[in-house]
């Protein structure tokens, strides 16, 4: 397996030249596009890593999966999906014109910014408690209490977050968001700034692949119904406005972040963490996509693939 991973990294390294590192905040801009890495954990507890896998990076949009899980646990499906939809969209992640047009009366799904701001707001507790719940959940999943958030990134997010503020105030105007907008956004910016490495990320993947339960059973995050929703939402909405093509080409439920991380889940089999900060036009790791496509093909991980009997 390690050889395979190494090979796939090298095979897809050329893609970096066609991508761009995120540039809206200094910390992301300074990332090295050649720092590509991958970690895979299986259900027997084996761990396979290759490339640059122990560098920390911020999870960014990957945090949306955890926030959705907590919002669902705290409020139930009905309450959450009254305020945010379950539909994929062919719009960019930070688009919100449909809410102004009243084409939709709620954000399309919890994986785009508008939807994720709503789910974060729905986590029970004070703003401090909301964030602590997210952080502690990730610590419990990874069994790693050293995980924290990157203050520099958090402050940059806060400073450049005017589009998210616009989204949040429109959500508030439409009755989809309660409480203080700056406080909700503060939690949102902090959760995006949580920092971990690829082993941690693969552990989150395994936790999901195992039905929101750690391998050793020490932490059960949610029931099976919610776990199923998380996997489905990652499949249909996890890769921004490339989710449909990613489903057809790779078929591994995944969620990407603008830092270049991808959280991938092979149900009942693997948790995968990938890193590669050069992004494609949709905001997904360009090398990460290539590696996952090859991995899916070589190991037969595409959930839409017919096994065949001949």
Which residues are known to be catalytic?
61, 64, 188, 240, 258
Please give the Cα distance from 147 to 96 (Å, whole number): 32
Range 116-135, binding a second copy (CB under 8 A) = none
Q: Of the listed pieces 13-21, 50-58, 247-255, 270-278, which binds a second copy according to CB under 8 A? A: 247-255
With CB under 8 A as the contact rule, which of the stretches 4-12, 53-61, 145-153, 235-243 interacts with a second copy?
Answer: 235-243
- Cα(120)–Cα(70) distance, rounded to whole angstroms? 8
Number of residues that bind a second copy (CB under 8 A): 64
- Does 253 sit near a second copy (CB under 8 A)? yes
Q: Please report, in angstroms and rounded to a whole number, the separation of the first and last CA atoms in the chain.
A: 26
Taking the complex as a whole, the smallest distance from the CB of residue 176 to a second copy amounts, in Å, to 11
Query: Applying CB under 8 A, does 241 fall inside the site for a second copy?
Result: yes
If one asks whether residue 211 binds a second copy (CB under 8 A), the answer comes out as yes
Token pair for 223: 């029931």
Per-residue contact string for residues 11-50; x = within reach of a second copy by CB under 8 A:
--------------------------------x-------
Residue choice 3, 44, 45, 103 for contact with a second copy (CB under 8 A): 103
Give yes or no for residue 73 binding a second copy (CB under 8 A). Answer: no
- Report the site for a second copy in 151-210 (rule: CB under 8 A): 162-163, 165-170, 172-173, 181, 209-210
Q: Which is nearer to a second copy, 45 or 306 (CB)?
A: 306
The answer to the question of residue 227 lying near a second copy (CB under 8 A) is yes
HEC secondary structure over the chain = CHHHHHHHHHHHHHHHHHCEECCCCHHHHCCCCCCCEEEEEECCCCEEEEECCCCCEECHHHHHHHHHHHHHHHHHHHHHHHHCCCCCCCCCCCCCHHHHHCCCCCCCCCCCHHHHHHHHHHCCCCHHHHHHHHHHHHHHHHCCCCCEECHHHHHHHHHCCHHHHHHHHHHHHCCCCCCCHHHHHHHHHHHHCEEECHHHHHHHHHHHHCCCECCCCCCECCCHHHHHHHHHHHHHHCCHHHHHHHHHHCCCCEEECCCCEEEEEECCCEEEEEECCEECCCCCEHHHHHHHHHHHHHHCCCCCCCCCCC
Q: Does 109 bind a second copy (CB under 8 A)?
A: yes
- Does 96 interact with a second copy (rule: CB under 8 A)? yes
Using the rule CB under 8 A, give the single segment among 31-39, 59-67, 104-112, 135-143 that binds a second copy.
104-112
* Binding positions for a second copy, rule: CB under 8 A: 43, 81, 85-91, 95-98, 100-101, 103-104, 108-109, 162-163, 165-170, 172-173, 181, 209-211, 217, 224, 227-229, 231-233, 235-237, 241-245, 247-248, 251, 253, 267-268, 302-310
């Amino acid at each position: 397996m390690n050889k395979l991973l190494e090979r796939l990294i090298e095979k897809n390294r050329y893609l970096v030249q066609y991508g761009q590192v995120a540039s809206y905040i200094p910390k992301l801009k300074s990332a090295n596009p050649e720092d590509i890495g991958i970690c895979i954990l299986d259900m027997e507890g084996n761990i396979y890593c290759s490339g640059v896998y122990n560098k920390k990076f911020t999870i960014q949009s990957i945090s949306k999966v955890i926030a959705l899980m907590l919002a669902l646990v705290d409020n139930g499906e009905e309450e959450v999906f009254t305020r945010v939809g379950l539909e994929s969209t062919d719009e960019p992640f930070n688009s919100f014109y449909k809410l102004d047009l009243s084409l939709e009366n709620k954000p399309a799904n919890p994986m785009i910014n508008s939807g994720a701001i709503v789910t974060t707001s729905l986590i029970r507790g004070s703003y401090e408690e909301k964030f602590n719940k997210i952080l502690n959940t990730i610590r419990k999943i990874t069994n790693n209490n050293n995980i924290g958030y990157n203050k520099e990134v958090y402050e940059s997010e806060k400073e450049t977050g005017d589009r998210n503020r616009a989204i949040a105030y429109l959500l508030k105007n439409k009755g989809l968001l309660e409480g203080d907008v700056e406080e909700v956004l503060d939690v949102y910016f902090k959760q995006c700034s949580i920092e971990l490495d690829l082993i941690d990320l693969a552990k989150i993947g395994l936790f999901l692949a195992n039905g929101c339960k750690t391998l050793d059973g020490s932490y059960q995050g949610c029931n099976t119904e919610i776990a199923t929703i998380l996997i489905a939402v990652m499949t249909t909405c996890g890769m921004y406005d490339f989710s449909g093509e990613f489903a057809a080409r790779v078929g591994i439920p995944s969620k990407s972040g603008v830092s270049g991380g991808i959280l991938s889940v092979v149900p009942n089999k693997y948790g995968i963490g990938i890193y590669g900060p050069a992004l494609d036009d949709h905001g997904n790791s360009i090398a990460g996509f290539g590696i996952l496509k090859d991995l899916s093909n070589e190991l037969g991980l595409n959930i839409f693939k017919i096994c065949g009997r001949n």
